[in-house]
Amino acid sequence: MDLRPYRPEDKEGLLVAFDSNVPDWFYPEEREKLDAFLDALPGPYSVLDHDGTIVGGAGYSMHTPAMAELRWLIVRRDLHSNGLGKLLVYSTLRELSKREDPPQISLRTLPQATGFFEKMGFHVVSNTPWVDMLKKLKVCP
């Protein structure tokens, strides 16, 4: 399993990984948003490549110097619960700390995913149809 920067030829593999998670973890209408996101990456994005097959990805973008956002965490459905999501989140946070210096990172997810992110130090800040979560990256700003 190789963790490496996204390349345009990885797009189809990420869309396949996305499709494997519909409808439990993503809504079908989000596919177009992912497609557009991959065409115009707003920040670093990494993929997990297993022998030439893309099985997951994650990245981040900066909203302000004080706030980053975790973007499009995807792990192929048949590979859930193998630590790949954690690997992607923690490697994205490590990459963020090398390039930027925000005190916080946010994300938006579905209610059923909040437990996963809470285990990594995120907490719920709002809960409408989507759940907005936040993680402090610095103890003192």
State the pLDDT confidence band at 141, using cuts at 50, 70 and 90. Answer: low
Q: Is the pTM of this model over 0.85?
A: yes
Kindly tell me if the per-residue pLDDT of 101 is higher than 60.
yes
Contact between 29 and 35 under an 8 Å Cβ cutoff? The reply is no
> Which residues 6+ apart lie within 8 Å of 103 measured at CB?
66, 136, 137, 138, 141
Query: In percent, how much of the chain has pLDDT > 70?
Result: 99
Listed residue (73, 27, 68, 65) closest to 46, CA to CA = 73
| Segment 45-69, tens digit of pLDDT | 999 999 999 999 999 999 999 999 9
Do strands 104-109 and 67-75 pair parallel, antiparallel, or not at all (unpaired)?
A: parallel
Domains of the chain in sequence order: 2-136 (3.40.630.30)
62-88: average pLDDT: 96
| Segment 116-128, tens digit of pLDDT | 999 999 999 998 8
Contact between 45 and 80 under an 8 Å Cβ cutoff? The reply is no
